[in-house]
Amino acid sequence: MGPLVPDIIPREIDLVFAFFIGIFFGYILEQAGFSTSKKLVGLFYGYDFTVLRVFFTAGLTAMVGIVILTHFGLLDMDYVYINPLFLKSAIIGGLIMGLGFVIGGFCPGTSVCAAAIGKIDAMFFVLGGFLGVIFFSETYSIWEGIYKASYLGNPQLFETLGISRELTAILFIVVAVVAFYFTTKLEKKLNPNEILDDTPKPYYKYILTGVVVLLILIPFLPDKKASLLKKVDDTNFILSQNIPMMTIDEFAYRIWDRDKKLIPVDLRSEKEYKQLQLPYSVNVQEFKQLFDKKLYRKINLRNNQLVFIANDELTEKKAAYIASQIGYKNIFILKKGMPEFIASYINFVPTKIDEHASKLVLDTYRFREMASKELPKIIEENKPKSVTNDKPKRVLGGC
Amino acid sequence: MEPTKYMNPYLAGFLLGLVLLLAIFVSGRGLGASGAIKSFGVYVVEKVAPEHAQNTKYYQEYSADHAGNPLKNWLVFEVLGVIIGAFISGLVSNRLDFKLEKGPKVQTNTVRIISAIIGGFLFGLGAQLGRGCTSGAALSGMAVFSTGGIITMFAIFGGAYAFAYFFRKLWL
């Protein structure tokens, strides 16, 4: 489902959305006290750890939300911007930013926020930031080497550490709670007279425990994908489903007609698929491939008709049922399956036909006779020339 | 009127986390700030010195990655929102005021202004190298478990702690 842009929400509206997200972002930053450099640098001198509390709580909230949404199939992280890892520039850039932080007293987001309520020092910080960006662009040749060095892809920390998402989130929570505890002690020591309103209230404990328990339980909760894949094992249930069928003759006619809106979803093995690759078809060897967002975007277009084809109707029906449950539209299954289609069209054998048979039988026979000559040509000319490999396209993000 | 108290930091963090999660769920990307400054910088250079921009490698690479007007950018719209959101917050909490804040031992405004410019300059430069700042790399990167973002986060805060001692006279 998510990200909603661009499938559900168009890109133009995304910019309007960004504006509103910004309003909330700015409002919260200011309300939290990020509009004064004194509070921000307090973090580095030990007298005010507000920044640490807000920052970690925000990061963890979003992180836990992502774990939950991903688990239940509501958010596909393959389409979310994951900051790339250029090890050298990440470290050097980070250290330069740290230096800028203690000298200037702001970071870019907080300086904009502080400038908005009239802090003059913040306005100069924004100006400095602007000059820094221009300086980088103008002296890019100096930096380019470091900037592009040691590229390691877009790894996520749980991959780097080789542990689960949930455990990674729990580790972050543990680190955060320990940090909150000790920094609050230090803060009180350095700042005995001023009471910073941040003593964790008792119910925080319950919220925290709840979140950790949830993270532990999540891997055991069935997600939509697993439960659907399990459901189709129930043959009687699948047989009771009512899914529109397409006859092999209509199917053949549409292929002959070079109908681009007819998308055969071929559930057979790769070998069988390669032997007979119908025009505009896609090969889905395993049901779980149906959950791929890339496939969904490619074939689930308006006016497309998806015909699930396999060696038996039951397999077709299973795949069609899963597809119907995850948002695919205009789904059909091929009546009697591929063996019947292949026998009647691809391996058409002329037979003597009773001239007194009904008109329908005669017409069908003549159609099959003609189509069996044309279809192989159409199939041949539509064979893909090269293998296309389209990787998921992430949103271009970052700062 | 006296300014109202700041929001409880854990509550503020929770709300900020929800906003970040919403941005990721809807737009497939996190929050940011320095990227908007960059877009603005590129825009200015392209307007003021179009020939220079066309002949300079960085701007060429930038326009290859970002088609169209540099200001028609998610982060630019988001930062416009930040300005308005922060202003509204300052208004409702009585904190709107032209004020230059400096550490108690800083004698002149000039020192504070120069250190703010230098700090901003370094942050702007570092954010380009690190491909994001505290919002775009550290906060949003942590939320999506990005190893790169988390390394940048440690470098920013680690660096700040390492250098803090040398600049204590500016703040303490």
Q: Mean of the per-residue pLDDT values for chain A?
A: 89
Range of weakest confidence among A10-24, A25-39, A343-357, B129-143? A343-357
Q: Give A208-219 pLDDT, tens digit per residue.
A: 889 989 898 888
Q: Give A274-291 pLDDT, tens digit per residue.
A: 888 999 999 999 898 888
- A residues 34-73 lying closer than 8 A (beta carbon) to B: 35-38, 41, 43-45, 50, 53-63, 65-66, 69
A60-89 average pLDDT score = 92
Considering chain A, what percentage of its residues have pLDDT values greater than 70?
Answer: 94
Which DSSP category does A222 fall into? P
Q: In what order do the strands lie in the sheet with A331-334?
A: A245-246, A331-334, A305-309, A262-266, A282-283
* String of DSSP letters for A159-204: HHHTS-HHHHHHHHHHHHHHHHHHHHHHHHHH-SS---S-PPPHHH
Residues of A within 8 A of B84 (CB-CB) are: 22-23, 26, 116
Are A31 and B153 within 8 A, CB to CB? no
Are B34 and A133 within 8 A, CB to CB? yes
Are B18 and A84 within 8 A, CB to CB? no
Partner residue opposite A143 with nearest CB, options B18, B129, B157: B129
Q: Give A18-60 pLDDT, tens digit per residue.
A: 999 999 999 999 999 999 999 999 999 999 999 999 999 999 9
Crossing angle of the two packed helices A108-116 and B34-48, in degrees rounded to 10: 80
Task: Report CA dihedral (A166, A170, A171, A176) to the nearest 10 degrees.
Answer: 140
A367-395 average pLDDT score = 75
Distance from CA of A84 to the nearest CA of B (A): 6
Are A35 and B90 within 8 A, CB to CB? yes
Rounded Cα distance, B101 and A288, in Å: 58
Q: Give A103-143 pLDDT, tens digit per residue.
A: 999 999 999 999 999 999 999 999 999 999 999 999 999 99
**The pLDDT value given to residue A42:** 93
Phi, then psi, of A163 in degrees rounded to 5: -125, 175
| Burial state string for A41-57 with b = 16 or more CB within 10 A and e = fewer than 16 | bbbbbebbbbbbbbbbb
Q: What residue segments make up the domains of chain A, in order of their start?
A: 11-222, 235-381
Residues of B within 8 A of A55 (CB-CB) are: 13, 134, 138-139
Which uninterrupted H or E stretch holds A135?
A: helix A120-138
**The pLDDT value given to residue A129:** 96
The answer on pLDDT for A386 being more than 60 is no
Are B163 and A26 within 8 A, CB to CB? no
Are B116 and A96 within 8 A, CB to CB? no
Are B139 and A36 within 8 A, CB to CB? no
Which uninterrupted H or E stretch holds A266?
A: strand A262-266
The answer on pLDDT for A399 being more than 60 is no
Residues of B within 8 A of A141 (CB-CB) are: 57
Are B126 and A122 within 8 A, CB to CB? no
Distance from CA of A257 to the nearest CA of B (A): 39
**What is the three-class DSSP state of A307?**
strand
Rounded Cα distance, B14 and A263, in Å: 46
Identify the residue among A24, A127, A133, A393 best suited for mutation to test binding to B, counting B beta carbons within 10 A and taking the highest. Answer: A133
Are A24 and B19 within 8 A, CB to CB? yes
Nearest Cα to A393, choosing from A301, A297, A329, A304? A297
Q: Give A157-196 pLDDT, tens digit per residue.
A: 999 999 999 999 999 999 999 999 899 888 888 887 776 6
Predicted ipTM > 0.90: yes
Instruction: Kindly identify which residue of chain A lies nearest to residue B138, measuring between CA atoms.
Output: A59
Nearest Cα to A390, choosing from A285, A294, A267? A294
Instruction: Kindly identify which residue of chain B lies nearest to residue A40, measuring between CA atoms.
Output: B171
Which CATH number applies to A235-381?
A: 3.40.250.10
The answer on pLDDT for A297 being more than 70 is yes
Are B88 and A75 within 8 A, CB to CB? no
Q: Give A223-251 pLDDT, tens digit per residue.
A: 777 788 888 888 999 998 889 999 999 99
Distance from CA of B1 to the nearest CA of A (A): 16
**The pLDDT value given to residue A382:** 82
The torsion region of residue A199 among left (phi > 0), alpha (psi -120 to 50) and beta comes to beta
Range of weakest confidence among A88-102, A227-241, B21-35? A227-241
Instruction: Kindly identify which residue of chain B lies nearest to residue A68, measuring between CA atoms.
Output: B21
Are B86 and A172 within 8 A, CB to CB? no
**The pLDDT value given to residue A390:** 52
**The pLDDT value given to residue A394:** 63
Distance from CA of B103 to the nearest CA of A (A): 7
A199-207 average pLDDT score = 75
B84-97 average pLDDT score = 96
- A residues 152-181 lying closer than 8 A (beta carbon) to B: 152, 154-160, 165, 168, 172
Instruction: Kindly identify which residue of chain B lies nearest to residue A6, measuring between CA atoms.
Output: B27
Partner residue opposite B120 with nearest CB, options A5, A93, A111: A111
**The pLDDT value given to residue B167:** 95
